[in-house]
Structure 1
Amino acid sequence: MNAIDQNAIQTLFTEARTHNVWLDRDVSEQTLRELYHLMHFGPTSMNCQPLRVLFLKSQEAKERLKPALLPGNQEKTMQAPVVAVLGYDTEFYEHLPRMFSHNKEAKSLFEGKPDFINATAFRNSSIQGGYFILAARALGLSAGPMSGFNNAAVDEAFFPDGKVKSNFLCNLGYGDASALFPRQDRFAFDEVCDVL
C-alpha cells in the first residue's frame, strides 16, 4: 500500500476545516451513497459496524431536530444542506453471524451483557464517525460535526423504538470559506504523546 499524495493529505487533514456557514448548493443522494460506501470499508472490532445514519435533507426533518439542539447550533444546522444523525445500533451483535462469519461464537459474547454491548457500539460507531468525516472530505464535502444537542430528545424524535441511540450530529454541504473562524491551536506531539 502506498502513501497518499500531499494534495490528498491537504483535502483530508491539513487544509480541511469545520464549517458553520453553507453555500446554497444541494448535496445529492448519490453523493451521500458514495460517502457511506467509502466509510463502510473502515475497520471496526469484530467487523461489528454499529453505525446507523439518518440523512436529514428536508426542512420538515430538520425542524423535528431543532428543539433538541443547543441554541448556538440551531441556525447553522437549519441552513446546512444535510444534517446527518449518527447513531449506534444496540443490537449490532445480531448481525455478527454474517459480518464476522468465521467466528461462530461472536454473537454469544454479547448476549445478555448490556454494558459490553453499549461500550462496543458507542466506541465503534465513534470510530466509524471519524471515517464518515474523512469520506465526506474525500468527496469534496465540508463537514460540521457536533455534540451540542439533547441525545434523549433526538432518540425520541428519530429512534423511538430504543434500538438505536444517537451518538453525534454532522452537518454536511459545501462550506463558505469566507465565513471560517481562524484555525485554533493544536497540541504538539511532545505535549500529548510518548514513545515507550
Structure 2
Amino acid sequence: MSLLLPPDAQDLLFREARTANTFTDEPVSDAQLRAVHDLVKYGPTAFNLAPLRTVLVRSTEARARLVPHMDPGNDTKTAAAPLVAILATDCEFHEETSRLFPHAPGVRDAYFAERPVREDSARFNGALQCAYFIVGLRAAGLAAGPMTGFDHEGVRKEFLDGDHLPLMVVNIGRPGPEAWHPRLPRLPYDEVVTTV
C-alpha cells in the first residue's frame, strides 16, 4: 500500500480505535498525558497557532462540578471515567503567539487585532488540536470518549473564564467491558473526493 505507517500502528490509531463508552478503573498518569502533549504539539495548525488549553478533571470535587453540565448519557460516562479532560480554546492566544512565530510580527499583529477574527481562528485551530489530542491518546494506548453534548456556557463558567471557550469534554482511560458501540459505516473515497 501507499502508507509508510505499519499496519498495526494504522489499526491502533484509526481502524481498530473506537470511541470508548466504558473504562476500567486503571488510573491515567500525568506522565502519560505529558507524553501525549509532547507528541501532538507538533500537529500543524494555521500560523502555527496553539490555542488549545486543557483542564484535567481528577478530583472528586471537580468531577461533581462537571457531571451536572453533561447531557443525559454523557453524565454517567463522565462520572465513571478515570480521567476527564475539558478541551478549550484560548481566544486571547495572540498574547503568547509572538514566541511561536516571531518571523512576521507585523502581519500577525494586524491579522489578530480584532476579537472576532481571533475567536474564529481559535475555534478552528483548537478543533484541529482536539483531533490531534485524541489520536495522541490512542498512540499512548489509551481510549478516548470525546463529547460535545454538554452545557458549554455552564462548563465555561465553572472551569474557565471569558477568554476560553470549551470545545469538547473527553473521557480518558483503558476501555472497559462493552466499551464499544457497533462500528458505523464511513463514506467511501469516491463519494468524498472530487478531482478537477
Show the counterpart of 1:123: 124
Shift of 1:177: 5.3
Instruction: Give me the CA root mean square deviation.
Output: 1.2
Structure 1 runs of 4+ aligned residues shifted over 3 Å read: none
Deviations 1:79-103 (A, max 9, x none): 1111110000011111221111111
Name the CA distance, whole Å, in 1 between partners of 2:179 and 2:132. Answer: 25
Tell me, in whole angstroms, the C-alpha distance in 2 between the residues paired with 1:107 and 1:81.
41
Letter in 2 for 1:87: A
In the TM superposition, 1:128-143 aligns within 5 A as 128-143=129-144
Bigger drift between 59-68 and 125-134 goes to 59-68
Contact 1:94 1:107 (C-alpha < 8 Å) held by counterparts:
no
Give the Å deviation of 1:18: 0.5
Corresponding residue number in structure 2 for 1:184? 184
Segments of structure 1 that go 5 or more residues without pairing to the other structure are none
Match in the other structure for 1:107: 109
Counterpart residue type for residue 153 of structure 2: A
Question: Amino acid of the residue matched to residue 134 of structure 1?
Answer: V
TM-score, normalised with respect to structure 2? 0.94
Is the contact made by 1:96 and 1:107 (CA closer than 8 Å) also made in structure 2?
A: no
Q: Report the alpha carbon displacement of residue 183 of structure 1 after superposing the two structures with TM.
A: 0.8
Counterpart residue type for residue 109 of structure 2: K
One-letter amino acid of the structure 2 residue matched with residue 108 of structure 1: A
Q: Deviation of residue 150 (structure 1)?
A: 0.8
- Per-residue deviation, residues 41-75 of structure 1 (Å, max 9, x unmatched): 11111111000001111221111111111011011
C-alpha deviations, 1:139-163, integer Å up to 9, x for none?
000000010001100000001x311
Distance 2:86 2:178 in 1: 26
Question: Which amino acid counterpart does residue 15 of structure 1 have in structure 2?
Answer: E
1:78 Cα shift?
0.7
- The percentage of aligned residue pairs carrying the same residue is 38
Count of aligned pairs between the two proteins = 193
- Distance in 2 between residues matched to 1:64 and 1:191, nearest whole Å: 43
Q: Secondary structure at the match of 2:55?
A: strand
Structure 1 equivalent of residue 18 of structure 2: 17
Answer yes or no: is the 8 Å Cα contact 1:68–1:154 preserved in 2: yes
SS of 1:144's equivalent in the other structure is: strand
What are the Cα deviations for residues 113-134 of structure 1, in whole angstroms up to 9, with x where unaligned? 1221111000000000010000
Q: How does 1:1-196 map to 2 (within 5 A)?
A: 3-105=4-106, 106-111=108-113, 113-159=114-160, 161-176=161-176, 178-196=178-196
**Distance in 2, Cα, partners of 1:81 & 1:171:** 8
